[in-house]
A = this chain, B = another copy of it.
Amino acid sequence: MCAWTATAEAHPNIAFIKYWGNRDHEARIPSNGSLSMNLAGLVTRTTVTFRPDLTADRLVLHGREVEGPALARVSKVLSLVRAWSGLTWHADVRSENNFPTGAGIASSASAFAALAVAAAAAAGLDLAPQDLSRLARWGSGSASRSVPGGFVEWLPGTGDEDSYAISIAPPEHWALMDCVALVSTDHKAVGSSQGHRLAEKSPFQAVRVADAPRRLDVCRDAILKRDFEALAEVVELDCHMMHAVMQTSSPRLLYWEPATVTVMQAVRRWRQEGLPVAYTIDAGPNVHVLCPQGAQEEVASRLRALPGVQDVLTAGPGGPARVVA
């Protein structure tokens, strides 16, 4: 290897069973297991270069140098790679997304998955998949789920060693489509890392966490059987359970905008009329509308016609994070 450099790509993911709240905020050991699908076509591409001449890590996002908390999160992952590899150099990190950042499309998931995979490769580490997932988790909890491919479950574990994500089915298993109705591309007022700390302040979080293994069983089963109806029910319930926790924490978090409700009410009406659709919403106002392949053009066209919907991105199941150069 002539240079300590590598480039990796990773997809964001949409959680069907949500991650909200930590048992350990530092190591991001989650309060409950979660389950998601990677989103093909939406990509973060990250290049990590370890260099002997750097006195500190550098982060360049979309060509602009970034410091402060974002750089500190990146450095935490890089420091783990240095500890595991014995390498002592600092790194230059350059990253780009092909989709809007910070509006509920989990850009931190693809960002830290790509970072973990690129940094490990650049440092010459040959890590097992679950160790790459653990590494990504230190930067962003949901990033642990963007490391494996297809349909992914994050086993919550009890500590750093056993808290990682695994693939429960490859992308080819089920051509499920996610039509993301963008109702805002503004940066959200309260980021997820801060929000996770508020979860325990809701009177509903304990119940949500205690019931999570049941919802995970129902969701995993629905995916393995390709049962859209069963998936729709549990995904919408889980979405509302997370937003109920958010809306009753202290301070209360209301991530929805008017058009978020427009889309939810429309999806509900369409399903009653027989169209196979279901919605879920991350920590932001955009609505992810799921449907089986074949329905996505009709769904995207209907979504675009709703007031307040600015654009619709459509994605099928995506593969794992991987080194591309």
Binding site for B on A (CB under 8 A): 203-204, 206-208, 211, 236-237, 240-241, 243-244, 247-248, 250, 252, 254, 256-262, 264-265, 268, 307-308
Task: Specify the chain B residue showing the minimal Cβ separation from A241.
Answer: B248
Q: How far is the CA of A138 from the CA of B271 in the complex (A)?
A: 36
Q: How far is the CA of A203 from the CA of B207 in the complex (A)?
A: 7
Q: How far is the CA of A236 from the CA of B249 in the complex (A)?
A: 11
Whether the Cβ atoms of B256 and A261 lie closer than 8 Å is yes
Instruction: Give the oligomeric copy count.
Output: 2
Task: Specify the chain B residue showing the minimal Cβ separation from A259.
Answer: B258
A258-B261, A261-B256, A265-B254 known; A244+B204 contact, CB < 8 A: yes
Q: How far is the CA of A257 from the CA of B258 in the complex (A)?
A: 7
| Chain B residues with CB below 8 A from A211, complex form | 203
Q: How far is the CA of A202 from the CA of B317 in the complex (A)?
A: 31
Q: How far is the CA of A265 from the CA of B240 in the complex (A)?
A: 18
| Chain B residues with CB below 8 A from A261, complex form | 254, 256-258, 260-261
Q: How far is the CA of A206 from the CA of B204 in the complex (A)?
A: 10
Whether the Cβ atoms of B258 and A262 lie closer than 8 Å is yes
| Chain B residues with CB below 8 A from A265, complex form | 254, 257
| Chain B residues with CB below 8 A from A203, complex form | 207-208, 211, 241
Whether the Cβ atoms of B308 and A258 lie closer than 8 Å is yes
| Chain B residues with CB below 8 A from A256, complex form | 261
A203-B207, A203-B211, A207-B203 known; A248+B237 contact, CB < 8 A: yes
Task: Specify the chain B residue showing the minimal Cβ separation from A262.
Answer: B258
| Chain B residues with CB below 8 A from A248, complex form | 237, 240-241, 244
Q: How far is the CA of A225 from the CA of B200 in the complex (A)?
A: 30
Q: How far is the CA of A247 from the CA of B238 in the complex (A)?
A: 10
With a 10 A CB-CB cut-off, give which of A241, A247, A307 has the most chain B CB atoms. A247
Contacts beyond the supplied A258-B258, A260-B261: 13 A-B pairs with Cβ under 8 Å: A203-B211, A204-B207, A206-B207, A237-B250, A237-B252, A240-B248, A244-B244, A244-B248, A254-B264, A256-B261, A257-B261, A258-B259, A258-B307
Closest CB pairs A-B (n = 7) = A244-B244, A258-B258, A240-B247, A258-B261, A258-B262, A240-B248, A204-B204
16 contacts between A and B (CB under 8 A): A204-B204, A204-B207, A204-B241, A206-B207, A237-B250, A237-B252, A240-B244, A240-B248, A240-B252, A241-B248, A254-B261, A254-B264, A257-B261, A258-B259, A258-B262, A260-B261
Task: Specify the chain B residue showing the minimal Cβ separation from A211.
Answer: B203
Nearest Cβ on chain B to A189's Cβ, whole angstroms = 10
Task: Specify the chain B residue showing the minimal Cβ separation from A205.
Answer: B207
Task: Specify the chain B residue showing the minimal Cβ separation from A306.
Answer: B258
Query: Of B247, B258, B260, B307, which contacts A244 at CB under 8 A?
Result: B247
Q: How far is the CA of A236 from the CA of B247 in the complex (A)?
A: 10
Task: Specify the chain B residue showing the minimal Cβ separation from A256.
Answer: B261
Nearest Cβ on chain B to A139's Cβ, whole angstroms = 31
